[in-house]
Amino acid sequence: MAYARSKLANVLHANELARRLKEEGVNITANSLHPGIIYTNIFRNDGCHRVFFRMASKFLLKNVQQGAATTCYLALHPQVEGVSGEYFADCDFAKPASQAKDPELAKKLWDYSLSLTTKI
């Protein structure tokens, strides 16, 4: 649950950042993305998970290059130039969870994060 909430927070933060940049007239885009489930060495020291993920990776998981594709697409492709505040998966627009599009929740998270980082 904590992992899912952290991913929701990433999307909310990107949306609020995009809104604020646009409001200030800054020509910088902010988007969020789901890279997919990627086979990495995260379970290299866990025998039973390593065996499962090695077998599953051939059929279900993306390799590192495939996982990086959407990030590279957003950073480099002229088709998304000027697009901001959107969510992507597999190098295309995608629909995030309904909470991720809640502007009030995004602002609340932004303000809370700001309060944690500006205390002296």
The reply to whether 112 belongs to the active site is no
Instruction: State the Cα–Cα distance between residues 95 and 87, nearest whole angstrom.
Output: 7
Instruction: Tell me which DSSP letter residue 62 carries.
Output: B
- The neighbour count for residue 14, using CB atoms within 10 Å, is 22
Q: Annotated catalytic residue: which of 3, 39, 73, 112?
A: 3
Instruction: State the Cα–Cα distance between residues 34 and 106, nearest whole angstrom.
Output: 18
**For residues 55, 97, 30 and 120, what is the CA-based torsion angle, rounded to 10 degrees?**
-100
- 90 phi-psi bin (left φ>0, alpha ψ -120 to 50, beta other): left
Residues tagged active-site: 3
